[in-house]
Structure 1
């Protein structure tokens, strides 16, 4: 069976239409049953051991009723629940491990618009469920089951220390005070509106928090990592040393230097890779990234003696490669950065703290640090209305790609990639100039339309 509900990052959809209270409850019951059967969740009634789950959410209004549904499902299946309240996804992952929980649940649709929401399940230790477990959960939705009664039903408590515990963990990951650094933090009206400013201030920075007044409806609304304009203006207006834009659940972060120039995920990975290498904390001198990373990133790291391992697009694949090789740093151009010594998932606040620490240790500006790599102009053309299944087999298209790669040589590259979620093919070209990249991308896009037309 292939997954129908779970995507690359849990179950997402329009809240109360695609993702209903009934589905949230049923998914939670099925998850409890699957994990119990696999020995990854204590079975209800186990002597001396009650199963425990922690549940967190972002600031979306729909998170309130979905949280209630998830808790009802888990408790009815005999699972005790700690309510963490509004907390970033990496905070839920951290507390899943720190509190010894058998299961973590995060309600968020990350950077998606407010009407959407999502459910993400985490196994012991705060790690993502693998595909096989997600398939098993779908297979067991709404099955008949023996319901616990009396003392065997789950109990629900509020864990009031969630934000403080998570912030303490974040601050403990670095040792150099950030005193003297002024920072603007865009919280995206999301899950980090408390933890983000609190962590940076506890580390010693002066913090100007913007978009930190969530009302349940304004999450990601022209703010955060997908809309950096307000952050860029605020950094310049306040004379800040840097700015950081988080997304709705704070598992990703993009930066802005003192001049208001965006520092993307590739540049962040490059800075942190060199920082960890210098500290002797970069296993194998390897950084894991996706095939969408800029060629300039790969060239810069190789010039500094580091190796880049590239994966398919998606933090799931980055994590898989990191686990398989025991690597300590990986991420995506979007700002999803994973530092496995301190987190099991991307963590935007953690990323910001360690970029600031690198600035404090070196005495360098963020712009100077980011200059370690030169971004090659990158042009992406989405070609819709084509048979994406044939993108990797059409001989004339593949020949056109090969000719373009020969023409670019070591100075650029071509990536032809069917979309995983839409009926289109993405043509990405990097070249020494914007004009050349655009010309090659348009030429290849025309071949895609001609050869793969429906």
Structure 2
């Protein structure tokens, strides 16, 4: 059975247009509340959000839904997604909810759900909630309606937890760090955590007004943070996205460092200290071949999954890995978080900067990326990847690349687009191959 509401990362859409509205949020609360009412204890749910204007509406509707089914609600206000996962587990809650559309513009919003263990829900749980959303709600008797309260110490709990993710001997004294919070969920906690460890923090994107989240700031709009690092003579810059589960680093020269180089750095340190489990790292099909070759040189493996941090996390849990991530900046350190955490990853990078005493441009360049090219082909319908001409073009491209390169063809999960990515040691060859496959897909479409 296909999904009607949930996508690859919860429910997401344009607010008050289509599915993402107050009515849907209340139905989610009622359905999830019914699904997670298990046992005789007083049930509770933790709800957090980012800084979008629509967060007030979605939060109120979720509170109505959950309390109507007999669940007590604990609201934290704006906090990163990983903080909600953490607090859900710490408070022995039955469920956690994050209201966010991550790196999307403010007009969008979303609902992410976490189980009592702090991990995102399984496909089975999401399908069960979808089924309950299509049925009449299971309302509590009047005497058993839930209560709602807002807690004031949630920020402090999270700051304490992320600081514990690095050694107690580490201080950031003398470091000038630009911290770009995208006017999003981490606008208070990320600068505070880094400042408490001794750094001089140069804040950027820390003045949310409800409509400026991710607007020309943050991990998907890097020009402002790059310029700020150079202008201020900072040692490093940190760019988070709207819900702070993603990180991009900027070196002292104003150059962006992606998730592949960060995984290489963190894996190296964890391997040296014998804290890396699973024999390597989990990443997606989009991670650069250069990362795979670098890890192989350390005697470590790279396991690849489909694009999406939930698939990375699933493989990590199956294989006993404690480090994984995406080239786009999701970093999962399972020893400290149950989901991607940009602030935890940032502290790991900063700790290495202190230990190694090297400039960020050197510290975060552990391998030369193999030339990689990604192009998108938009199509109106049908199944162009099933066409024989496309299959033949893909087979020829794979044969031409051989063992020295990779070809990844995948349909987008959010729009009618086929993504064509190739990488290999010869940049000109890679470009020719991508263009040929794109032409075949375009002709078939």
TM bin (shorter chain): over 0.9
Name the SS for the 1:334 alignment partner: coil
The 1-side partners of 2:134 and 2:375 are apart by 42
String of CA shifts for 1:395-439, please: whole Å, max 9, x gaps.
443333233233333432211212223223211111334433222
Q: Is the 8 A contact 1:252 1:336 kept in 2?
A: yes
Q: Is the 8 A contact 1:388 1:425 kept in 2?
A: no
1:413 matched residue in structure 2 = 406
1:135 matched residue in structure 2 = 127
1:341 matched residue in structure 2 = 335
Please identify, of 412-421 and 293-302, the stretch whose mean Cα deviation from structure 2 is larger.
412-421
The 2-side partners of 1:231 and 1:239 are apart by 12
Selected match of 1:87 from 57, 74, 79 = 79
2:96 matched residue in structure 1 = 104
2:298 matched residue in structure 1 = 304
- 2:191 paired with 1:197: yes
How far did residue 443 of structure 1 move? 1.3
Name the SS for the 1:216 alignment partner: coil
2:7 matched residue in structure 1 = 7
1:25 matched residue in structure 2 = 26
Matches within 5 A, 1:205-220: 205-220=199-214
The 2-side partners of 1:388 and 1:168 are apart by 51
2:108 matched residue in structure 1 = 116
Q: 1:419 to 1:142 in 2, by over 3 A?
A: closer
How far did residue 15 of structure 1 move? 1.0
Q: Is the 8 A contact 2:31 2:137 kept in 1?
A: no
Matches within 5 A, 1:26-175: 26-36=27-37, 39=38, 42=39, 46=40, 49-141=41-133, 143-175=135-167
Q: Output the TM-score relative to the length of structure 2.
A: 0.96
Name the SS for the 1:184 alignment partner: strand
The 2-side partners of 1:144 and 1:11 are apart by 20
How far did residue 366 of structure 1 move? 2.0
1:404 matched residue in structure 2 = 397
The 2-side partners of 1:206 and 1:180 are apart by 7
How far did residue 324 of structure 1 move? 0.4
Please identify, of 328-337 and 433-442, the stretch whose mean Cα deviation from structure 2 is larger.
433-442
The 1-side partners of 2:165 and 2:377 are apart by 44
Q: Is the 8 A contact 2:393 2:436 kept in 1?
A: no
How far did residue 146 of structure 1 move? 4.8
How far did residue 17 of structure 1 move? 2.0
The 2-side partners of 1:435 and 1:375 are apart by 15
Selected match of 1:364 from 358, 363, 378 = 358
- 2:283 paired with 1:289: yes
Equivalenced residues, count: 442
The 1-side partners of 2:369 and 2:336 are apart by 28
The 2-side partners of 1:305 and 1:402 are apart by 31
| RMSD of aligned Cα (Å) | 1.5
How far did residue 182 of structure 1 move? 1.5
4+ long deviations beyond 6 Å = none
Name the SS for the 2:36 alignment partner: helix
Q: Output the TM-score relative to the length of structure 1.
A: 0.94
Please identify, of 196-205 and 288-297, the stretch whose mean Cα deviation from structure 2 is larger.
196-205
- 2:261 paired with 1:267: yes
2:232 matched residue in structure 1 = 238
